[in-house]
Amino acid sequence: MKHKSTTIRLSFCIYGDYFEVDKVTDIIGLSPTETAYKGDQLKYRVSEETFWEYNFAPLETLLIEDNLQVFAAQIIPCLPALSSFIKAFALTSKLLFCVEMSPEESCPAIVFDNKILDILHRLNAWIDIDMYK
């Protein structure tokens, strides 16, 4: 029986009180996985903020930096415009990693180099890492 590989999923979310979510789509050039405006009815709750979220394709890897390379390739070309937009509307962004660890493999490596930390700083971003076995 083949063992299940470690899989890391990455979501990027921009949120705040109010902003035009279509403008984020225009800046980044990706259609969001989900958006909502503050006060919108979601599946189980009412949205407390406006948000734009994109889920990158999951990767079978032991290195979070593999996901970060995909993220950086998409964000770096639009970083000046996106950073300005986030600052103009006092927004926050978040990188959410969901790590589904294989019991047969080593623990994933979690590394954030200076280049990524600079990008996150410019996006007013924080990091959330959820790990599951």
Q: How far apart are the C-alpha atoms of 47 and 97, rounded to whole Å? A: 21
* Range with the largest mean pLDDT of 2-11, 81-90, 100-109: 81-90
- Residues in the chain, total: 133
Q: How far apart are the C-alpha atoms of 12 and 91, rounded to whole Å? A: 13
- Residues in CB range of 4: below 8 A, 6 or more apart: 100, 102, 104
pTM, to two decimals = 0.92
- The tens digit of pLDDT for each residue in 61-102 reads 999 999 999 999 999 999 999 999 999 999 999 999 999 998
Average pLDDT of span 45-66: 95
The pLDDT assigned to 29 comes to 96
The pLDDT assigned to 5 comes to 87
User: How many C-alpha atoms does 126 have within 13 Å on its Cβ side?
Assistant: 4
- The tens digit of pLDDT for each residue in 16-42 reads 999 999 999 999 999 999 999 999 999
